[in-house]
Structure 1
Amino acid sequence: QEAGHRFVPDVVEAFPGEIQAISVSKPALEDVFIHRTGHKFWSENPDPDSQSIDKKKKRR
């Protein structure tokens, strides 16, 4: 939402005393990718099986 900064006061008013912090920023490329595809560029905990396959390919 381009006018996110205008939305913040409404949220704060809707939840008085509930919100401790709030920030608004433009989405990063990864944020857009996650929104469009539903997953990250790469996983934080890669599959050990896929790593061993990659290692085998490098040895050849």
Structure 2
Amino acid sequence: MISGVDIVSKILLAVTTATVLVLFIGLKKAILIEKKILRLEEKILSVEEKILKIDKKIEELLESKEK
């Protein structure tokens, strides 16, 4: 025979388990999103470096043209 306490404890266990699973999945997604953001930041830095190199070359060309 199942008592009311058993039913409540099983419901609480199920809810707790579901909550932990949701938090774990959310944390996993957050980590994946953060990794994507870091990759994007690396790409942005790479583009910035390329722009600085181009800018430097333009300055050198302008200086050589002035001479």
| TM-score using structure 1 length | 0.23
| Structure with higher RCO (Cα < 8 A, 6+ apart) | 1
| TM-score using structure 2 length | 0.21
Bigger Rg, which one: 2
